[in-house]
Structure 1
Amino acid sequence: MHRRTFLRSVTAGASAVAFSGALWHEAAAALPAATAAESPYGPLLAADANGVALPSGFSSRVVARSLRSVGGSLWHSAPDGGACYPDGAGWIYVSNSELPLVGGASSIRFRADGSVDRAYRILSGTNLNCAGGATPWHTWLSCEEIYRGRVFETDPYGNRSAVARHAMGRFKHEAAACDPDHRVVYLTEDEEDGCFYRFTPDVWGDLSRGRLDVLCAKGGDAVEWRPVPNPSAPLTQTRHQVDAARHFDGGEGCHYAGGVCYFTAKGDKKVWAYHTASQTVTALYGGGGTLDGVDNITGTTAGDLYVAEDGGNMEINIITRDGAVAPVLRIEGHPESEITGPAFSPDGSRLYFSSQRGSSGETTGSGGVTYEVRGPFRH
């Protein structure tokens, strides 16, 4: 398929997602904050044989364990951010490795029946690859969570080498979310006084050049974007280059849908919503419910958000389009771990995620476990 034809097809698909996301935006805008309520899937049952508590009608399986072979490849330790991609009749799940010096990322290729075809590395020799984000042109942005960290654009299909995208800034990167409506990429920063950024490429689909802006306070919930003078500055960090920059305590996951970019901040345990039309930032969820230790975030075409916990009681919670917050799964027996990399298969029927340190609590060892949950997800 020619590149232009491919991008047109991706844009059309994104428009369909944006429509349902717009419905969620309208519902969310009417709520001061999402609140604890009953799950649309019902209560969690006792944990299954894999230690995963699920609602009735859902099932889990383990697809990979750290330092064990999966699909002919050794699965990495400390699995973190992830995403899914279509692959003919099957699909691919990508996962980062939040290890120092040897982090990188790997892919698992699934056949149409859900069985594992093979696994392989798509990025090696990088440092603490935490979260990231998928692009509409089917690449994976793998982000380094270190001082002057880089964003690497990688190929989930394993056909092209990874490329560092320095124009997207050198800072303690966490997550990325592409906005095909405005042709920008939003970026979070995992610092106590981290910022929220927007990268505008010169050419949509080419991240080698562009402008990096930082979100700035304008009064009340109103915000504006100002250019970061030197995104690759070796001494003055990006978050300190613009005095009016708005700061968030520990930026984590990031997800865009229907004119809204949702991002989490672990320091204040909030889920924030940046509304592109009104140029405002509001707290969608401010704690006090079942969701604790907010971290990675993803969403569905139904307009629901799914937020993974770093610690807490090891749950993934749903925030419905009606503003209800409730657990949809819990991992038992992993008190020193965190849930990472939630991502839905292209058809929305399977949810992938990992327990980064597993039951052992060891980051660099064999504790990491990557799961698949199947069930009647709303999509």
Structure 2
Amino acid sequence: MPASRREFLRSSAAFAAGFAGLRMAIHPSLARAAATRGAVGFGDLVADPKGLLDLPAGFSYRVVSRTGDVMDDGLLVSGAPDGMATFAGPEGLTILVRNHETKPGDDGPFGANYERLDKSLLSRFYDDGAGRTPGVGGTSTVVYDTKNQRVVRQFQSLAGTERNCAGGPTPWGSWVTCEETVDKPGFLLDTEDTFTVAKEHGYCFEVPATADAKLADPIPLVAMGRMRHEAIAVDPRSGAVYETEDIDESGVYRFLPDQPGKDGQPGKLVAGGKLQALKVRGNQALDTRNWESHDVSVGDRFEVEWVDLDHPEAPDDDLRKRAFAKGAARFARGEGMWHVGDDTSGSIYFACTSGGVKRIGQIWKYTPSSVEGQSGEKTEPGVLELFLEPNDSRLIQNADNLTAAPWGDLVVCEDRQEDVVRLVGVTPAGECYTLAHNHVKGEFAGVTFSPDGSTLFVNLQTAGMTLAITGAWPKL
């Protein structure tokens, strides 16, 4: 079993163990804090004299990189850093793969006038922009030394894509990055310039987690669908890949690879497979959003079936329309997604940013069948549960990216633009506490822990910063 897979299963198994317990089945330090304060969490936040990030006492942050920094390959750190994941690297280093939700005209890796573009590398780009304005999205990779809290190197690792929003790690040590756009070939205009788009966008791409500075093969995973992708999560037991879609009336999808990654073997997503949409059994097109009526309550559990979707390349961007016609459930802006568990059990948690009666967010839990993707799931189906819908902005507002914490809680990013935006912890019992808040009036994104549990990485998207947060993080 590769080290990256061991780390993936170790961290997700620890999180699953925490979520299987009761409220007090958490790290003793948190339990003691709860007893003295009557709440869970790390205590009151301490104001940051720099006015950037408030954290609990005893915790600190450092800026890993900023938009515009020159990387080791001579390119620039792109703007709008978004979804991320970490992987165990050589010699105890951490490999951090980072999305950039940038579109033509935004701060990209090649400079304002593409002056850093090496045209000899255009064959390594997905969309070369007709040799003039290639896509400025993609991913960058940071090799980080958590022991000494320093950047070893950083470089562009996928080029020529657009609006790479979130994605998810695989058990075999790669990052699947997702485009949140369905741009088609043609011309895009802004107030000052024209940008050429040479290929259809809206796909997922797989990026190896490597410490070697090189570009990934820009192969679109067409069979996983063309849509406004947000995030993915992989079930290591079945090899199934789950997908969210960032639009007000969205579906939740499942991709069953022809060559799934399971039993310790790497998957081959590029080999194709079957795309499906989630349907609640016995309920035609259930609207889970709770907008017009309160149809779903926290704790409600639903048996699931999956409906097949042909033509995943969807040139007319009609996947969700076809899914709803087959009775698929409707969700409110599917966002971050994370698998928790090990290779024998586990669940998928995902956020819906505008779900709920007050449209300020929901978190859902899907527990796959023990025979997920096989004929036996008809009699032993997976189960969907509404895990959290606070309808109280004091607790959490507009949940986006999320991850598993080593001590058994979720850590959730808020996606909004207000004076204070938070990182929120959520206990296994669904209790919320503030872990951090920023003062840049922009969303948190890409929250993820290092494999050794020492460092929490997170992006301040509007400010174009990646931060590393350290302190006495508990273990499960």
TM-score range, shorter chain: 0.7 to 0.9
Q: Which has the higher strand share?
A: 1
The structural deviation recorded for 1:134 is: 1.0
- Cα deviation, 1:86-106, whole Å, max 9, x if unaligned, reads 112211212111111311110
The answer on whether the counterparts of 1:122 and 1:161 sit within 8 Å (CA) in structure 2 is no
| Counterpart for residue 248 of structure 2 | 192
SS at match of 1:213: strand
**CA separation of 1:16/1:96 partners in 2, compared to 1, >3 Å: closer, same or farther?**
closer
Which stretches of structure 1, 4 residues or more, deviate above 6 A after TM superposition?
A: none
| Counterpart for residue 285 of structure 1 | 388
Q: Does 1:307 align with 2:412?
A: yes
Moved more, 368-377 or 9-18: 9-18
Q: Distance in 2 between matches of 1:154 and 1:18?
A: 21
| Counterpart for residue 288 of structure 2 | none
- 1:142 partner letter: T
Unaligned runs of 5+ in 1: 30-36, 359-367
Q: 1:6-25 maps to which residues of 2 (within 5 A)? A: 6=2, 13-25=7-19
Q: Distance in 2 between matches of 1:181 and 1:24?
A: 20
Q: 1:90-101 maps to which residues of 2 (within 5 A)? A: 90-100=93-103, 101=135
**CA separation of 1:13/1:91 partners in 2, compared to 1, >3 Å: closer, same or farther?**
closer
The answer on whether the counterparts of 2:15 and 2:404 sit within 8 Å (CA) in structure 1 is no
- Cα deviation, 1:282-337, whole Å, max 9, x if unaligned, reads 221102242111100111343211100001631110112243211111112x12x1
Q: 1:82-93 maps to which residues of 2 (within 5 A)? A: 82-88=84-90, 89-93=92-96
- 1:44 partner letter: L
Q: 1:196-207 maps to which residues of 2 (within 5 A)? A: 196-203=252-259, 204=261, 205-207=267-269
SS at match of 1:240: helix
- Cα deviation, 1:147-193, whole Å, max 9, x if unaligned, reads 26000111232454332211111111001111102211111001111
Q: Does 1:330 align with 2:437?
A: yes
| Counterpart for residue 33 of structure 1 | none
| Counterpart for residue 67 of structure 2 | 66
- Cα deviation, 1:237-292, whole Å, max 9, x if unaligned, reads 11122321111111110011122111111111111111224622222110224211
The structural deviation recorded for 1:236 is: 5.7
The structural deviation recorded for 1:221 is: 2.2
Q: 1:177-326 maps to which residues of 2 (within 5 A)? A: 177-203=233-259, 204=261, 205-208=267-270, 209-219=272-282, 221-235=302-316, 237-242=318-323, 243-258=326-341, 259-268=346-355, 269-277=361-369, 279-287=382-390, 288=392, 289-311=394-416, 313-326=420-433
Moved more, 287-296 or 183-192: 287-296
Unaligned runs of 5+ in 2: 24-37, 104-134, 183-200, 262-266, 283-300, 356-360, 370-380
Q: Does 1:149 align with 2:202?
A: yes
| Counterpart for residue 55 of structure 1 | 56
- 1:134 partner letter: P
| Counterpart for residue 139 of structure 1 | 174
**CA separation of 1:70/1:58 partners in 2, compared to 1, >3 Å: closer, same or farther?**
farther
- TM-score calculated relative to the size of structure 1: 0.87
- TM-score calculated relative to the size of structure 2: 0.70
SS at match of 1:221: strand
Q: Could you tell me the percent identity over the aligned residues?
A: 33
Q: Distance in 2 between matches of 1:167 and 1:28?
A: 40
The answer on whether the counterparts of 2:338 and 2:404 sit within 8 Å (CA) in structure 1 is yes
The structural deviation recorded for 1:11 is: 5.3
Q: Distance in 2 between matches of 1:80 and 1:244?
A: 32
**CA separation of 1:340/1:16 partners in 2, compared to 1, >3 Å: closer, same or farther?**
closer
- 2:335 partner letter: E
Q: Distance in 2 between matches of 1:318 and 1:95?
A: 22
| Counterpart for residue 469 of structure 2 | 373
Q: Does 1:128 align with 2:233?
A: no
Q: Distance in 2 between matches of 1:176 and 1:48?
A: 37
- 1:377 partner letter: W
**CA separation of 1:372/1:70 partners in 2, compared to 1, >3 Å: closer, same or farther?**
farther
The answer on whether the counterparts of 2:364 and 2:386 sit within 8 Å (CA) in structure 1 is yes
| Counterpart for residue 144 of structure 2 | 110
- 1:221 partner letter: F
The answer on whether the counterparts of 2:164 and 2:180 sit within 8 Å (CA) in structure 1 is yes
- 2:305 partner letter: E
SS at match of 1:214: strand
The answer on whether the counterparts of 2:7 and 2:88 sit within 8 Å (CA) in structure 1 is no
SS at match of 1:329: strand
The answer on whether the counterparts of 2:64 and 2:150 sit within 8 Å (CA) in structure 1 is no
**CA separation of 1:67/1:14 partners in 2, compared to 1, >3 Å: closer, same or farther?**
closer
**May I ask how many residue pairs the two structures share in their alignment?**
355
- Cα deviation, 1:177-227, whole Å, max 9, x if unaligned, reads 111022111110011111111111111210011111110121472221121
- 2:269 partner letter: L
Q: Cα RMSD between the aligned structures?
A: 2.2
- 2:469 partner letter: V
In our comparison, the structure showing a higher alpha carbon Rg is: 2
Q: Distance in 1 between matches of 2:89 and 2:410?
A: 24
